[in-house]
Every structure is written in C-alpha cells, then in structure tokens.
Structure 1
Amino acid sequence: MKYLKTFFVPAAASLLFLAASCAKEQFAGSADTLADSEYTAVTLTAGFDTSVRTAVDAEGKVSWKAGDIIRYYSESGGTVGSATVGQDCAVAEFEATVAQNASFLVAACGGESLTGNTSGEVFSLEGAVCARQSGRFTDAHVAVARTEDPEAGVLTFRNLTALVKFTLERSDVALISFSSNDQTLLHGDGVLNVTFSGGNPQASFGGSGGNSIEVSTSGAGTFFISSLPGTLGEGFTISCYDSGGKLLGEASTRKALVLKQGTITNLGTIDGRISTPAPDYDPDLSRSGTANCYIIPVGGEYFFDASVKGSSTEPVEGTPAGAKVLWESSVSGSAPSAGDIITGVGYSQGKISFTATGSDGNAVIALTDASGAVLWSWHIWCCKGYRPDECLQTYFKNAGVVMDRNLGAVSAVPGEAGALGLLYQWGRKDPFPGGYCATAPASLPSPVESDASTGTIAYSVANPTVFITCNEDNFNWLTKSDNTLWQDSGSPKGIYDPCPAGYRVPDGGGSGLWAKVLGTAAWTAKGCWDLNMKGINFGTNDKPLGPDKVIWYPAAGYINSTVGALNNVGYSGSYWSSTVDEDGSCCFNISPYFSSSTSYVQPTQTYDRAYAMSVRCVKE
C-alpha cells in the first residue's frame, strides 16, 4: 500500500488473450540445474469497428478505430472509465479525456497504480510492475500495440515485461515469494517509458523497486509472475508459505536466469524442487540474549525471559503475577481485532509465552503484578520472513552494518506504508504507533505533560503507552535529563535501548553513522527526494550510504513534543541516534526542499528528546 500518493485502479476492458504453450520446463533437474530456456511470445487480439473515425464529444465520450488512441486497463473502478471490445467488432466507447490524433494504441494491464500519460511517441506508466500479484495471466503483464493499418482486423500486442510461469500440484501453498539471489530488481514502482521504432515498442524501466515478488496461489494450479526484464546472475529462490505465513519450503538455484521482455519463461512443476525447511524458528526468543524487542518471522508459539530489564542482568522490580497485551497494530488499513497479531499471552516461572498468528504487525506485551500494574514491557515485532541478519546493509567508510528497515517496519519496499515503522521518544524503550498504523485498542491514552510525577523513568516504565510531552520549562519528557538511557557504542548497550538482541541505536553527531559517510554539513541535491514514494533511496542517489541498490529511508514523520500529535508523515523523516547534545539528542533528518524532488539532508541535526521519531538499528 502506498502512502500520500494519489492513484486509481484501472478500468476494465475485454480482450481476447492468446499465449502459446511452453513445452519444456526451464526449471528441470536438481536445484542447481536449469535446462535450456524456451520462450514463447505473448500475443493478444482485439476487434474494432472501421466504419467510424475517432470522435470526442463535449462530455469526453470517445469512439475509436485503428489509427487512433485508446487506453485499456484490466481492473474495474478506475477514473478512465470502462470499455468493451466485442467479439463482433462492435464500437468501443468509454468515458475519458484523451489526446486526439495520437498515433498509437496502448493496452496496459497489471500493476498497483497504473496512470496513463501520452506525449508524442512516449507512453508512461507509474507502478508498472507491482510487488504483490494475483498469479492470474490476465493481470500479469503490461502490453502495448501500435496501429499501422487503419483497416487491420487484428492488433498484435507486445508484452513489455517478462513473464514467469510455474505450476503447483500441492494445495497447502497460499503464497509464493519469487526472489532474485543477487538483489536484481524484479518489480518497479518507477516509470515505464514506451517508445516505438518501426512499429515495435521498446520499453525502458526506471525508478526504485525490490528483488522479491509475492504471488497469491490459493492452492494448486498454474500461475504467472510479471517481472522486470533482466539477468538474475545468481539465480533465484522460490519460497512457499501457508495461509498462516509459515514457511513450507524453498526451491532455489544459483544458475543464472535471463528474463526477457515479451516472453514467458516456464519453470514447469516446482513441487519436487521444494525442500522441506529446517526448523524455521526458535521458540526461545531470548536464547541469544535478552532485549526490549523480539522479532517474529513466522507464526508459532514463543516465550522469552521476563525476569530482567532489557539487555541487562538487572532484575525486574516488583512481584510478577501475569502478562497482558497493551496494544497491537497493523498497516492493513483497518484496526486489528484483539488476537490478530498475537494471542494466548501468559506468564509462568519468569517467562512470558504467547502465540504469533503469522500476521504482520506490532504489539507490546507487559509483565504485571497482582493489581495489574505494569512492571516492564516488551515490543513484539511480527514481520513475516524477516531475519535481519540476512538483510543487513553495510555502509561505506566502515560506518556500520545496519538493518534494511526502520524499527517496527514490516516492509523495506520504497513507498509502502509498512516501511514507515514505529516512533520512539529518545531514551524510552517502548514504541508508539507511526503513520498508517491501525491499532487495537483504537487509540492509546491521551498524552500527559511532564512534571514531577510523570516526567520520571519510573512513570515511563509503568505507563509504556502514555506519551509524555515536554513542559514550557523543559524540552525533555524527563524533568531531569538522563544521558545514559541509550548508550553510544563505546559503552554497554543501554537498559532502555529499543533494538533487538545484537543490535543497538546507532551513534550520531559528527562521528556517527550518517556523518561518517555523508559528512556533517547539511546538503541539498536534485533528484534525491522521491515525490511519489515520499523518501530517499540512499542506494542510488549522488551520495549513497552503501553499495546496495536500495537503502530506503521513508519520511515517517514524528510525534510532536508539545502536544503528542503525529505530524509530517510523507514530508520528513527523522532518525534518532544514541548520542546526546546538551539537553537534546542527535538525529539524522531528511525532507524535500521546497516540496520538490530536491532533497534536504541533515546528518547531524539535534532535536528535543520529547519528540518521538524513527529508529534504524545498527549491528553491535
């Protein structure tokens, strides 16, 4: 789901799709062996009426024939309107505003947010290849055609993406993830430019994207994936999940695979190549160390040590009697019901146990005494398939090895709401829901102003869901500053550090994570701010943080320090460091420069500690 981006779902058009079959399986033999590729061109046919010329009346109604422009889309409900091309060559009419006397015809199918734009010989589509697809052939392509003969009866459409075809015979698979092993982009949220040379369309893909496409399979059948053309130099991996998000197995090859524009690559039946996974999770979350946050990659039953504070050996104070969920959140667009993310929470013999449903989201679990008072609390970060050590990004100049996403984010895909993550007041271990987080209960308690009773560490621990605003005499949520809550890398990890075991809040300031690569001065650069996705890809801009193609920093906004309101989602992104600066703390800040594609980056900005902002954890 994109955020702060206006888009429409394209309107329906009836086309007759014809695709020749592929006789050979490209995914044959062992997991590291692929047979010779066999490709089949994709062609489509459509009837039209040659007795009329294009007419656009005052209301925008269009009648068409060969040689004139028409735009087709595969889904219903879009603002372009709807058109039906009859098998008997009836006239197609639809409500739209189109350029007259255009020289080509376009049929665009698939994509999450297709928007059409014509100018001379160029047709642009935003969101041409999406990260999540249905597996149906009818929406697994982007095809175009140009009319050369006004009297022609058949239009030949050329597919501009690469199609991957596979068959499943087992019925327990609900989702397939198709990934390149070398981070080659498979989907793109940028712009697809189509030009015509000698009647044949040529496509160039730009913008950012990702190296994994999810396809809903819903059991046995034959399915299609629409992909950006390219060479997968290190091969690919197919991961299979059940309806609860549990990994059922994987099929992988390291042999290079070429995905060609306008062709179908047939992987054949993949059941026999799907390996049975090793135990896919350790139920003891604290086995490798205690922390204030635990990552849940798959659904299942878990437990962790609830006897100590964070990553320390300091015992939790009070007499534990039980455990409860304080809140749950998702980015699905609607608030989760209680138990949608985690359920079955309990406490026994110094351990908290619970069951993760396998759904993406976040939750906070509290250890309580007999009266229900909170003694300590933990952030449960449920992110399907996410194992951070497998997705780390190494920044230049030995600055650090960093997570590929914000703390609490369920996605690292540019533009997705799930990439925003959660927000933290400096020095506190417990998160607050960020942009596009729908929570259960629907709202958290109202903010309180910092004073002698509320502006204390003890109050923050006992009230992890309460946002503490600063008062007019103090720009901190604490009435008395404490610089040791989050520690720099030269000291042991702070008790209140919100990052999972093995990770910590990064150093900031002049010698911190971002300044080591980008320098200490604020800078502006054209083309860095992504107006559509609302953020910066520091993998491809003029000052990259590291060698990865996508290092995405979204504009997740912040919670205001004075009133506790969420602000600037999609406009700015502020990332805490552990480094203090007098009564404030250092952070990394990004924003557009005068609402343009020019970015404004501040590697060493300082903010009041009562703000709640994003955290990007670094490997210890």
Structure 2
Amino acid sequence: LYPYQDSAQVVNGNIYARIPVAQDGRFGNAHLAVGVSAPAAERVIDFKNACAILKFTTYREDLWMMQIHNTSVGCSGEFRINPETGAKASNSNVLRKVSVSYKGNNIGEKYVSMMESNLPKGAKFTFISRDGRMGYIYTSAKNALSNGYIYDLGELDEKITMDAEPAVNLGAEETANCYIITSGGSYRFPAVEGNSKTPVNDIAYGDVIWETRNTSSAPSKFSMASEVAYCDGFMYVRVPDNAPDGNMLISACDQYGNILWSWHLWLIREGVTDQVWPSGATMMDRNLGALSAAPGNSLAFGLLYQWGRKDPFTGIIKANTSTAMSLAGTAINTIASNDETGTIEYTVAHPYTVVYKNEGDWMASPESSLWSAALKTKYDPCPPGYHVPYESVFDGLTADNVPYDETRYGRLMTYESQQLWFPFAGRRQSGNGSVNYGYNSTPMFYLFYDQNTSSSDKCSWVGTTTTLGIGSENFHKAHSSSFSMRCQKIVSSGITHTVRLKYKVTDVSYGVKAPTFTGESYGARMIEWGDGASEGLDLEPNFYHYYNAPGSYSLTVTCVDVNSIRVSIGDLEEIDVTGF
C-alpha cells in the first residue's frame, strides 16, 4: 500500500483504506491516491491506482474552501481492494462529499482524490469566500470517473456564481440548537454546542440528516437544504428560494462520518409571533416546529422532543391517526435505553434515534439539569430569544376557560383578542418510541416544561377531551416519552446588578473563577465580565479567565435579568477570589 496509512489494514487478503473527506488540493500529498501492488510474475510488480482524480484551476484570491457534493453516490470514505485481482469495493461508511481547503494554498491547480464513480446526476461544487459568501457550480451532466485517471475540469473562476453578500449569520446575537429561517438564501451560524461558547471540534464536513414538510408526503431530498458545508468555525446552509416550508436537521461530522453535533432549522416563511398568556408569560404562538398556528390545521402540530434532548423527532400528521410525518433522509429509529444508549454522548451522536424506556427516563443515570428555564442550557431545543418554559406559564389555563374544540381536535382559548390554540398533537410512547395520537383512543396533547422539582418525572402539561392540567399519575408520562414544546420568550427587565470583586493573582498559571449565583429567584441568562484591561470579555458562569502575569485585579460582574425576575446576588460587594 502506497502511500502508507496508519488506518490501512489487511483482512482476509483485502486491503482496507480510506479516501479522506477533507483534503488540501496539493498534488502528490499522501491523500492523493492509494496504490496496491502484488507480484503478477517473477520480477514484475503491477500497480493499480485506487482513486480517480479531479483537477481544476482557480485564481481567485478570495476563496477559503471548496466542497464537492455527489448527491447520488459516494466520493470519499472507506474502501477495500484485493491486491491479487485489483477488484475494489466501497464499504458501508462511504461519504458523498469531499472538501478542499484554500488556506495557505490559494491560487492555481487543485487535485482531489475521489472514489471511482459514474456521477449519474453530476455534482455540486460549493465555494466559500474569506468574508463568508457562498458560491456554486452545478453540473448535471453524467461523468465517469475511473481509477488511475486525472480528469481536468479546467479553469473554474468564470463559472462560479458567487453571492453578492455574506451568508446571513443566524447566531450573531445568540447561538442555539434551533434557528428560524423565513426565506430562501445563504445562511451560517457558529459551530458551537447550543447556546454555549464550546466549539464543536474535529469537523470535516456538514450534512443533511433529514427534511420534512410535516405531512404524509416527503420533500425531495436536498430540496430544503441544497447544500450544507463547514468552514472556519461556521456551518453554512443554502436554502433554495423555492424550498417548501418545513423542518430539517443538519449535522457536523468528522472524517469518519460520525455526528459531532446537530441543529434544527425551522423554515417557516410566515415566521412566528408572540402571545401573552394569563400567567403573564410571553409565549410562542405555536408548537416548536409547527408550520401554522391556525386552529384545526394539522400543520400546527409541530415536532416532538424527549425531555432534556435538543433534537426533534417527527410527530403525527392527523389528530386521530398514529401515522408519522414523512421525511427525506435518515429515518427516525428507536432503541432501548441501557448503559451505552442512555447517555448524552449517545444521543448527541444519534440525534435521529428515540431512546425508550417504558414509563421511565431515557437516561441510564437520570439528570434533572439538562433543561432549565432559569438559565438556558446548551441542550435547550428553542431558537434564539426563547427557552423551555417554566411550569408556572400554564397558570390560569383550565379545562373551563380553554374548552375542547370537537371539530378541530384541540383546545382553544380567546384571551385579550388572541387565540391560544393547543392542538391534539399526540406523542411518541415511552415504551417503544412509536408515534401515537393519544391514550386509550382519546386524542391528546402533551407540552413539556423545564422540570417539576417536587417530582422529577412529572414535567408535562396535558390536555384531553375532558381534562387539562399538569400531568397526573395517569398522564404525567416519563422523560422517555416524546412530547410537543411551546417555547417561552426571554424577556429582559432592563435591571442590571453590578458587583465588584477584588482578588490577587500570584502565579501566572492561576486563573479566576466566577462565583455561582444561587437562590430561588436566580434568572440571569447573561453575565458580562470586564477587568479594566481586557475589553469585550463575555464569559459564561464558572468560566475561568486566565492572566499572563501576577498582580492585583478587580473584576466587574454584570447580571442582566430575564422575565422580570430580580437576580439574587447576596453580599458580594467585595470578596476574595482565589486562584486554582
């Protein structure tokens, strides 16, 4: 095997190797091609190239990366080859993409190693510029790529259709696990874990997991997200102008195809609006993922969530049937919870898998802090500006003032000229993860809230044809169930609290840790730091800030209230913060 690869193996006479998805485009580098050899006769060695090679030329100085997307067959990933016969076959872990970085290698010829393929539907070339613009070349012509041949596509500069403006940054103000998109166009957002500042590391490429129109008819594949790419800390998505409204789940993957993190993109051209409920809470006018807020419209059902998980699952298409929405892409599957599957790590890597446990928690070792209305967590499924709701948002909603609407399958309340609509959106059952429209043939809805601390397994507000309220012993259900989500708006009171902390740093290896604010009234969602020397520090609670030299420092902590709740900060006018 030449060039040598640490990952290459010989099993049962076959050589197993990999064409990497992320390449640098240089001729002659180790990723360019893989050759295999075996004695064909005495003193004769035959070499067979295991890759096809695409060559192209660009002279633009503004390009940062290029991605080739073969929508029908694989172009990178694992393969095996028999040295005796030269027979070659791809493995199950085959990827449809290959990318080329322009960093430090901008101008001139590029070479891309790809698997032998017929490219029956052509390929997509996506370019991303240094300033975040996206560009495209679409080839619909059938091409045959054979091992051992270099296919020269020529100069591509004049063929690239480049956007006039940078892709819209959906996470400019706040990052999240869900973003609302209201029109076609090019979009990007930081590749971080939810609303945290933790980057998703080792990303090789981005991909579409699934797309749905929330109906029984699946959209055409890649009709909602025609391209997903990763470049320089950002995920990029292209939404066609004629894309149907719907929902999609996209992922950041490593070179082996493993999912590192995923995000829900909610394409809804009418957007969402806010409503004020009797409790005083400002709430989204529809379930998360719903394409309508109109009473009686089945598109108002939205998507379903397991408690504490960030990624959605498809729900029912009709209030009195247990038929799931159709999707294009990776199907929703189910698996029983155990020590391996009942973990955060497993669900992050398998966002399309419902982990079930009958009337129990999907986690092998349950955690009650995955969702919090007081402080939005990185597993919160709501878009920027919203979070999972408090239990108290449902105060003032009763079976009497939110009557059952028999003809439209839901409960409807008119409050201050607003229509508060709660459709019977069904659930996914805790015992097997399958969709179900109700309970004992009774249509129902369930809405999760953050957590009832008095009883950790009761965390849903339930509506049936006859009852309405916080889950009872019969209807509270479990964290392993999948229910609807109605997001609560983050509303700042505008009140700020400033505390000045004094401390000393006596060793360059020391750092400073923020105090943790506690108390029932704690509701701060943003803490800003400033030390007089470093501007623009915007760190999370318990974030460690390091200094390059010993000395005395003072630190200002500013807490911004949310939902008109005053932050309880205690007596912290002057405290010593020790190094660690």
TM-score (norm 2): 0.51
Contact 1:575 1:589 in 2 (8 A): yes
Query: Are the aligned partners of 1:280 and 1:298 in contact in 2 as well (CA < 8 Å)?
Result: no
- DSSP-derived class of the 2:202 partner: coil
Distance, in Å, in 2 between the alignment partners of 1:372 and 1:301 is 24
Could you report, residue by residue, the CA deviation over 1:412-448 in whole angstroms, capped at 9, with x for unpaired residues? 0111111000000000000000112633337724311
SS at match of 1:458: helix
What letter corresponds to residue 350 of structure 2 in structure 1?
Answer: N
Aligned to 1:615: 485
1:574 maps to which of 446, 466, 480: 446
Q: CA deviation at 1:613?
A: 0.1
How far does residue 524 in structure 1 lie from its aligned partner after superposition? 4.1
- 1:393-472 residue pairs with structure 2 within 5 A? 393-398=275-280, 400-436=281-317, 438-441=325-328, 444-470=331-357
Q: Identify if the C-alpha distance between structure 1 residues 527 and 327 changes in structure 2 by more than 3 Å, giving closer, same or farther.
A: closer
> Compared with structure 1, are the counterparts of its residues 372 and 576 closer, same or farther at alpha carbon in structure 2 (3 Å cutoff)?
same
Q: Deviations over 1:315-366 (max 9, x none)?
A: 32x4110011111001344111111221111111111111123421000000
Distance between the aligned counterparts of 2:286 and 2:199, measured in 1? 31
**SS of structure 1 residue aligned to 2:346:** helix
Partners of 2:189 and 2:444 lie apart in 1 by 36
Distance across 2 between alignment mates of 1:298 and 1:381: 11
Look up the match of 1:551: 420
Instruction: State the match for 2:384 in structure 1.
Output: 501
Q: Report the CA distance shift for 1:514/1:401 in structure 2 as closer, same or farther (over 3 A).
A: same
Aligned pair count reads: 312
Superposed counterparts of 1:71-470, under 5 Å: 283-306=168-191, 308-316=192-200, 318-357=201-240, 358-386=243-271, 388=272, 391-398=273-280, 400-436=281-317, 438-441=325-328, 444-470=331-357
* Alignment-mate amino acid for residue 309 of structure 1: E
The answer as to whether partners of 1:503 and 1:619 remain within 8 angstroms in 2 is yes
- The answer for the alignment partner of 1:196 in structure 2 is none
Superimposed CA distance per residue, residues 47-72 of structure 1 (whole angstroms, 9 cap, x where no aligned partner): xxxxxxxxxxxxxxxxxxxxxxxxxx
Are 1:590 and 1:602, in contact at CA under 8 Å, matched by a contact in 2? yes
Tell me how far 1:587 sits from its aligned partner: 1.3
Q: Give yes or no for contact 2:218–2:326 (8 Å, CA) kept in 1.
A: yes
Q: Contact 1:299/1:359 (CA < 8 Å) preserved in 2?
A: no
Counterpart residue type for residue 601 of structure 1: L
**Runs of 4 or more above 6 Å deviation:** 279-282
**1:370 and 1:527, CA in 2 relative to 1: closer, same or farther beyond 3 A?**
closer
Structure 1 unpaired stretches of 5+: 1-278, 540-545, 594-599
8 Å Cα contact 1:577-1:585 kept in structure 2: no
SS at match of 1:497: coil
Code of the residue aligned with 1:587 in structure 2: it is S
Q: Is the 8 A contact 2:333 2:352 kept in 1?
A: no
- Contact kept, 8 Å, 1:298 with 1:385, in 2: the verdict is no
Q: CA RMSD in A?
A: 2.3
> Identity of aligned pairs, percent?
34
**CA, structure 1 residues 587+332, in 2 after alignment: closer, same or farther (shift >3 Å)?**
closer
Residue 531 of structure 1 deviates from its aligned partner by 1.3
Aligned amino acid, residue 405 of structure 2: D
Task: Give the conservation status (yes or no) of the 8 Å contact 1:366–1:374.
Answer: yes
Give the CA deviation at 1:507: 0.6
Alignment correspondent of 1:529: 404
**1:462–1:536 Cα change, 3 Å:** same
Q: Distance in 2 between matches of 1:304 and 1:438?
A: 27
Measured after TM superposition, the shift of residue 528 of structure 1 is: 1.5
Equivalent in the alignment of 2:574: none
Cα distance in 1 between the residues matched to 2:334 and 2:477: 19
* Partner Cα separation in structure 2 for residue 341 and residue 531 of structure 1: 35
Instruction: State the alpha-carbon separation in 2 of the partners of residues 601 and 591 from structure 1.
Output: 6
The 3-state SS of whatever aligns with 2:299 is helix
Q: Does 1:563 align with 2:435?
A: no
Structure 2 counterpart of 1:554, one-letter code? P
Match of 1:486 among 371, 393, 403: 371
How far off is 1:565 after superposition? Answer: 1.0
- How far apart are 1:312 and its partner, in Å? 1.0
CA distance in 2: counterparts of 1:333 and 1:505, whole angstroms: 28
State the Cα distance separating 1:280 from its structure 2 match. 13
In the TM superposition, what is the alpha-carbon distance from 1:282 to its structure 2 partner? 7.6
Separation (CA, whole Å) in 2 of partners of 1:374 and 1:496: 16
Contact 1:407 1:617 in 2 (8 A): yes
Q: Per the alignment, in what secondary structure is the counterpart of residue 348 of structure 2? A: helix
More displaced 10-residue stretch of structure 1: 546-555 or 524-533: 524-533
In structure 2, what residue type is equivalent to 1:396?
Answer: P
When the two structures are superposed, what TM-score results if normalisation uses the length of structure 1?
0.48
User: Secondary structure in 2 aligned to 1:579?
Assistant: coil
- Cα separation, 2, equivalents of 1:461 and 1:397: 34
1:290–1:524 CA distance, 2 compared to 1 (3 A): closer
CA contact (8 A) 2:313 2:332 kept: no
What one-letter code is carried by the residue in structure 2 that aligns with 1:337? S
Aligned partners of 2:279 and 2:393 also within 8 Å: no
- State the Cα deviation string for residues 28-56 of structure 1 (Å, max 9, x = none): xxxxxxxxxxxxxxxxxxxxxxxxxxxxx
Partner of 2:457: 584
Measured in 1, the distance between the counterparts of 2:244 and 2:166 equals: 15
